[in-house]
């Protein structure tokens, strides 16, 4: 299984559209950082960070407003490259997807060769960097792609999975966010290997039965999930960065109307109803 993830996607697209931004620290957004280039991340700038704090960390940070139609177009084009190798593709976001290549190695070579070709094509055809992880399970392939970043390829060979996995920080696991990571740290668990060696009862007491059992299994690379090729998106969204504009009604109301229209258009195009509206 391959997990392909476009690197610093929004920021990379902006640097592609405006070559003068290449090699410079940039952030997509304004009042809040939606995405940051690797040059900006070197200063500690992260997505979700207030713009003011980002400027404190990186005074020469360049803010750009965002080109969401281009993000969608280029994300679709990158996934199309995967489709050229196998029909078994599960897209999980605008910029990442899984691909099962077990059935096409007789046509295109080993999984490593396929991943190398995909990376080369995405770079040549779209001008974007993409990292790929290759492993026998979805969970491990996703972790491998994170280890491969930026712009790399990591192949976890059969028989080496646990040696690769257990030295890595627990925060790389699917489903371990800052809150869970902090709770695990309280009991001395900082690596995936330490998690694997923790008594399952202690994990379920700390995290609850479902999360504890799931993480215990994943720490031993037990992940039987297959790819969901017909997976339907459970949400539709649109974003707009206000930058330095004041948060007043004459700014917010037109922005919300514009975003609502964009979301409604996407839902109508897919004949999908909506139920819950979230504004953040």
Residues labelled catalytic: 96
> What is the C-alpha separation between 263 and 255, in angstroms, rounded?
12
Question: Do β-strands 96-99 and 89-93 pair in parallel, antiparallel, or remain unpaired?
Answer: antiparallel
CA distances from 162 to 156, 167, 197, 264 (A): 10, 9, 12, 46
The Cα diameter of the chain in Å comes to: 61
Q: Please provide residue 58's backbone torsions phi and psi, each rounded to the nearest 5 degrees.
A: -140, 90
Place of tokens 């952030």: 27
> What is the C-alpha separation between 108 and 8, in angstroms, rounded?
28
Which residues touch 279 (CB under 8 Å, ≥6 apart)? 256
Beta bridge partners of 93: 96
Cis ω on the peptide bond leading into residue 150 (within 30° of 0)? yes
Q: Please provide residue 156's backbone torsions phi and psi, each rounded to the nearest 5 degrees.
A: -100, 105
> What is the C-alpha separation between 71 and 42, in angstroms, rounded?
23
Beta bridge partners of 33: 29
């Amino acid at each position: 299984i391959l997990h392909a993830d476009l690197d610093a996607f929004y920021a990379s697209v902006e640097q592609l559209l405006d070559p003068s931004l290449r090699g410079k620290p940039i952030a997509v957004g304004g009042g809040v950082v939606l995405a940051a280039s690797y040059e900006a991340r070197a200063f500690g700038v992260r997505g979700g960070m207030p713009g003011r704090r980002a400027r404190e960390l990186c005074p020469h940070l360049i803010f750009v407003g965002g080109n969401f139609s281009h993000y969608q177009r280029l994300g679709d084009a990158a996934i199309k490259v995967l489709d050229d190798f196998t029909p078994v593709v599960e897209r999980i976001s605008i910029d990442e997807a899984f691909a099962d290549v077990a059935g096409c190695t007789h046509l295109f070579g080993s999984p490593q060769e396929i991943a190398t070709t995909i990376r080369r094509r995405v770079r040549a055809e779209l001008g974007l960097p993409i990292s790929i992880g290759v492993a026998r399970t979805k969970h491990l392939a996703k972790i491998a792609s994170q280890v491969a970043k930026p712009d790399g390829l990591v192949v976890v060979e059969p028989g080496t999975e646990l040696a690769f996995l257990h030295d890595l920080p627990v925060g790389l696991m699917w489903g371990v966010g800052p809150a869970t990571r902090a709770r695990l740290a309280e009991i001395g668990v900082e690596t995936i290997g330490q998690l694997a060696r923790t008594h399952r009862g202690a994990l379920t007491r700390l995290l609850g039965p479902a999360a504890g059992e799931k993480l215990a299994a994943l720490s031993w690379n037990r992940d039987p999930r297959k790819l969901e090729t017909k997976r339907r998106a459970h949400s539709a969204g649109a974003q707009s960065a206000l930058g330095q504009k004041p948060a007043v009604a004459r700014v917010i109301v037109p922005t919300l109307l514009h975003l609502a229209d964009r979301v409604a258009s996407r839902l109508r195009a897919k004949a999908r109803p909506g139920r819950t509206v979230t504004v953040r």
